[in-house]
Chains A and B, each alone.
Chain A
Amino acid sequence: MNLLSLHALAVGTAIVLILVGLAGALVRRNLLKIVLGFSIADSGVNLLIVTLGHIPGRTAPIIDDPKLLKDAGSLVVDASKVVDPLPQALVLTAIVIGVGVTALMLAFVVRLYAQGKSLDIRDFGRLKW
């Protein structure tokens, strides 16, 4: 299998994940499942970003092999041998933020359930118009 199809597969998966996540958040009435939906969509976005930094034929930007160094003496990476490291750094941050937001949303769900004894989003629409 060539790498191009892997790339396409990753992009496809990411888009599917985003759509599935948003669809879940849109149609599921359960608060927990809505939160879950956003988590899934987040994962899709993260996957997509990692894929964006991917360059066919290169390896991860982690120095586990001296061959990745420009010359043996220094610790400078040969940029032509690794993929773009920036998206990966971004995704790490995005994952952390995603966890934070998910935790906060779950905290909301817990408190909403404690007050309303329901997990159905339709029961939480008292403010309107």
Chain B
Amino acid sequence: MAYSRIKENTIHGLFFFNGVLVIVVLVGIFVLLITKSMPAFKEISLLHFLFSFKWNPTASFVEPSYGIWSMIVSTFMVSIGALFIALPLGVGTAAYLSDVASYRVREIFKPLVEILAGIPSVVIGFLGIVLVGPVIAKIFRLSNGLNALNGAILLAIMALPTIISLSEEALKGVPKSFEEASLALGATKWQTLTRVKIPAALSGIIAASMLGMGRAIGETMTVLMATGCALAMPKSFLDSVQTMTATIAIELGEVPYDTTHYYALFAIGLVLFIITFVINMISDIILHKYQRVIK
């Protein structure tokens, strides 16, 4: 009896450590990023790092400069642009699937969305070069189509599966009685959808789009390949841009170990981590509030 109790407790303990492990990983990422970024801030002031838009770490005749503001702007420009495209398309598709489509259409569509979600970012980036780029170049008469618009279109495609499935879930979570009450009062299905169901599911939809945007901000390969990678303050969506993720991907492989430049790249990683963390937390809070309200 005692033996089996010891065994039970040991197993319980092992699973407990396994559960706590995820906290360790998350905290570990944060702590290690901070440790690796700190040396950079001995040389660079935090304000200069965040808000100067001159990133020139390899300058040889002038003082090297480590400002990431233009990358932050580029990152948000591409991600918010993606959201502008993906949100109406995604919510529209979700509304169609949850309210209009038959059961069969829904069952066919679900795996298709999963296929779209499964296409690797590097393949989407490749299509940005060979497919979307030339089209953009032709329409706007540019020498090449590798710019913020291209990145936004590609990131929109990548954000769609997240937004579709989470919005559909949010729409399905609206109590049936809301819909029935609205229909009983003589509203059409469309009026019920736009004036009852979507407002009721709004926080879920907002949470979904924030998650989609968090993904877009952290996306690397697509923007690395399709946005042209030019380090300057973008003036329009037709300018080439370089996001934070792309900078890390381009420069970390070439930078000498143990230099300010090296640590500054980890500092960019830390900024990315914090931005996505905050966005995830906000979407989490919105979602929880929403679940409480519905209950």
A and B co-occur in one complex: no
Binding site for A on B (CB under 8 A): none
Binding site for B on A (CB under 8 A): none
